Every structure is written in C-alpha cells, then in structure tokens.
Amino acid sequence: MYRKVITLCYRKIIDARSPGRWEKLVFEDSYAEFLIQSQLYNPEKKYTRFSDMLQYAPGAEKLHFLVSASVINYVKPLNNRMPDITNNLGKSFLHFQHYFFEIINSDIRDRLVHSIAINFCSSPLIWHDTVGDYLLLSEKKDNTLEEVQTDILQLRPFLSIHSLQTEQYD
Amino acid sequence: MERKRFLKQGMAALGIAFVTPMTACKKNDATTDNSENGGTEGTGSETCAVAPTETEGPYPSKNPSAYVRSDITDGRSGYKLTVNITIGKVSNNCSPLEGAVVDVWHCDADGNYSEYSSGSTSLHFLRGRQTTDAGGLVTFTTIFPGWYQGRATHIHVHVFNASGTSLKVTQIAFPENSGSALLTVNGYNKGMKGYTYNAQDNVFADDTTGVEIATVTGNTTNGFSLVHNINVP
C-alpha cells in the first residue's frame, strides 16, 4: 500500500495595505529594521530601493536574514499555528514546522513600497484523496490502522503543496 | 517628515518602545477595540479582580526585535565571554554617549555566523542589541569567538544613535601576546595553524596604534572579560 505525504506552504504577504493589527505591527517593525540594517550595505544612502541594493550593493542579500529578527517575536506567539488557512469548517488546523522570512521590496524613503513575506511550511500531512476542489488531509501518524481525524482544505492563492513523498506501508 | 517617522519606527524596532501586554492595559484603552486582541479585557475598575478569561493567542502586542537581549549565547558552546563596550562621543570630548544603540555579532567556536540555512527557520545566535546607559556602557554575555580562514578573531560592532542612524561600523580585535586569552583558547578544536594574526589581517593591519584591540582578561575555567571603548563622531 502507498500513501502520499505532503507539506503545504503558505506565503503570507504583508504590505502597507494589510489589514489587522498583527500584520501592521509586522509591517512597521520589519520596515524599521530594514532602515537600520540596510545602512550596513548602503552607508551613503546611494540606493533607496531594496531591489537596487540587491543588484549593486555586495552582501545586501543578507538583509533577508538580518531583517527577519524583527518578526521572530511576532511569529512565536502563533505557537506554530498556521495563520489564515482554515479547513472547510472555517477552523484553523494546520501547524507550521518552520517559516522563512523574505523582503519582497522596500525603499528607505518610501515605506509604502515596503513589502515582505513570511513563508509558513506545514508539518507532514497524509493526502488521502481529492474531493471536488478539496484535499482530504490528516495529520501524519505512524499507525496507519487507527481511525484518523481528517480535514478538508481548498487550495487558495499563495497556498501550495510544497513537497510530496510517496510512502509504502503495510 | 522622514526623520520624524524614522525616529518613531526606529525606536520601536530597537526595543525602546514600550511593550504593552494586554494585562497592562488600562480599562479605558481595552474597551475600545477588543477584536484585535481576540477577546475581552477586564471589566472591573478595581485593581483587585479576577483576571479575565481569554481565548488562546496570538496576542498582537508590540514586540521588540529578537536582537534586543544581553545574553546572545543561544546555546552555542564555548568559553564564556563578557563583553563590555563603552561608547564615547568625539564631538563632546569623548564623554560617554547615553542612549546609543549598539549591535554586536560574531562567529561561533567553529568560525560560523548565524544566517539563513536553506528553507529553515532563521537562527540568530551570537547577535545582539543593547542601548548604552549613562556611562555609555553596554554589556553582552556570549562565548569567546572562534576564527575562520583569512581573518583574525574579531567582533563586529555597529553603533547607531537613538533614532537608528548609523554612527560607526567597526570591529574589535583581540590581543595576541603570550598568555593572552586568544592563545589560551587556542582556536578551540581548530588550533592556530593557518590563523591570520592582526598584523596580517586585512581589517586590523592598519591599526598601528592598537586602538581596535580590546583588553581581554580571564581564564578558561571562569570565563573571559572583554573591555573596549569605541568613540563615534
């Protein structure tokens, strides 16, 4: 017997238009950290755009990592619960195993350009079947005989199947 | 306008802004918008009241950058090192600069920096941020740095004013004399074969007066202490 084990990744994009207090705090603090850290690679403020820094300022790609420290204390309170993504009952059910911060773009003179993404990647799930537009999923467990609680999930923009593994079991 | 905005945002990211957990909110603040915090605030006007029941988080309160901490060890193994850096202001006769923000970062015992590893949660070990006190002092608890090919052992320092504007990017070098902490640590498991000493280092070689070299004392049993002064414009 074979089963499909997948992980899902949700790319949560936050910019100046993002609603919600959590998103606004992440936006403000990641922008402030960008202003601070970018001075290391752009000391004379020769470039205003992050995209230009990436192209012309050596080492500027490290800003993804350096600015990510500003969101760590916002991600921790999520307790590994994947934000925004709910099952067909409207309930949050996914847990992320790791996350990855990236700066999409920014500008030291225009905060409205600032845009970041936090990529949340789920723990392994069993993909049992596809029902209409929905994936029938359950948490991966070693015991394949016991009854499992399932969730039905519709894929949406910025949510993707990140990895797929076919496992054999008896 | 930009400066004012930066000041506000910079202060926030530097952890200077007040962290206001929900339980610290005044009643009047809390009753205006409960939805953001996912629940209700206290309803009593007295200070002696049963804490309100809340739904499970997240609770979106203002949180400082993960850099803001004094102990930056993060479980990295190595000999304990206490780093004391004082910041002086040259334009004020090198008197202590209070309220300056000091970022430090250095490599671990094996010579590796924290950075993104492929697809994993970022690790920010051996990186920290503190604000100078009235004596211009910041203190970090960390491990004695290792070394990597082509560089002498060093600690990176970036000093900002209170509004987040860069004042100085520099590095701290270690004494290399006989009996020094550097030679005592002996590069941890690496030894010192192939080590780049300060005189050959492409950053410290021009420091003929030794102004970038810290004072380092201590031993491997009790740990080491580094003291250094950095003057900024």
The whole domain housing A70 covers: 2-168
Structure tokens at B111: 């010579």
A117 touches A13 (CB < 8 A): yes
Residues of chain B contacting residue A78, judged by C-beta atoms under 8 Å apart: 57-58
Strand positions, DSSP E, chain A: 2-15, 96-105, 115-122, 125-131, 134-139, 150-154, 159-168
Q: Extract the tokens encoding A134.
A: 């929905």
**Interchain contact, B13 vs A33, CB within 8 Å:** yes
Domain parsing of chain B, residue ranges: 80-232
pLDDT confidence of residue A147: 87
Name the strand (E) or helix (H) holding A135: strand A134-139
Whether residue B224 lies within 8 A of chain A, CB to CB, comes out as no
pLDDT at residue B59, rounded to an integer: 55
Spatial distance between the Cα atoms of A137 and A153, rounded to a whole number of angstroms = 7
**CB-nearest partner of A70 from B13, B58, B59:** B13
* Residue A163 scores a pLDDT above 70: yes
Q: Does B66 touch chain A (CB under 8 A)?
A: yes
pLDDT computed for residue B12 by the predictor = 39
Interface test with A, best of B63, B74, B104, B156 (most A CBs within 10 A): B63
Q: Dihedral sign, CA of A76, A80, A82, A83?
A: negative
ipTM: 0.87
User: Does domain B80-232 fall into CATH 3.30.540.10?
Assistant: no
Largest CA distance in chain A: 64
* Mean pLDDT in residue range A11-24: 96
pLDDT at A74 over 90: yes
CB atoms within 10 A of CB B132: 20
pLDDT tens by residue, A31-68:
999 999 999 999 999 999 999 999 999 999 999 999 99
Contact between residue A111 and residue A117 where contact means Cβ atoms under 8 Å apart: no
Which residues, other chains included, contact B35 with Cβ-Cβ below 8 Å and sequence gap of 6+?
A: none
Q: How are the residues of chain A apportioned to helix, strand and coil, as percentages rounded to the nearest 5?
A: 30, 40, 30
Instruction: Please tell me which residue, A84 or B55, carries the higher pLDDT value.
Output: A84
> How many CB contacts within 8 angstroms connect chain A with chain B?
97
* Dihedral sign from CA coordinates of A19, A20, A24, A27: negative
Its pTM stands at: 0.81
**Which of A36, A83, A111 shows the shortest C-beta gap to B10?**
A36
Q: What DSSP letter does each residue of B210-222 carry, written as one string? A: -TTBPEEEEETTT
pLDDT at B49: 72
Residue B68's alpha-carbon distances to A8, A69, B11, B129, in angstroms, are 32, 10, 12, 5
pLDDT at site B118: 47
Nearest to A36 among B2, B59, B164 (CB): B164
Sign of CA dihedral B193, B194, B199, B204: negative
**CA-CA distance, A101 to A92, in Å (whole number)?**
21
Q: How many residues in total does chain A contain?
A: 170
Residue type at B58? Answer: P
Question: What are the pLDDT tens digits along chain B (233 aa)?
Answer: 444 444 344 433 433 333 223 333 333 333 333 333 333 333 334 467 777 554 444 457 888 888 999 999 999 999 999 999 999 999 999 999 999 999 999 999 999 998 765 444 457 899 999 999 999 999 999 999 999 999 999 999 999 999 999 999 999 999 999 999 999 999 998 999 999 999 999 999 999 899 999 999 999 999 999 999 999 99
The reply to whether B127 touches chain A by the CB within 8 Å rule is yes
**Per-residue burial over B177-207, b = 16 or more CB atoms within 10 Å of its CB, e = otherwise:** eeeebbeebebbeeeeeebbebeebeebeee
Domain count within chain A: 1
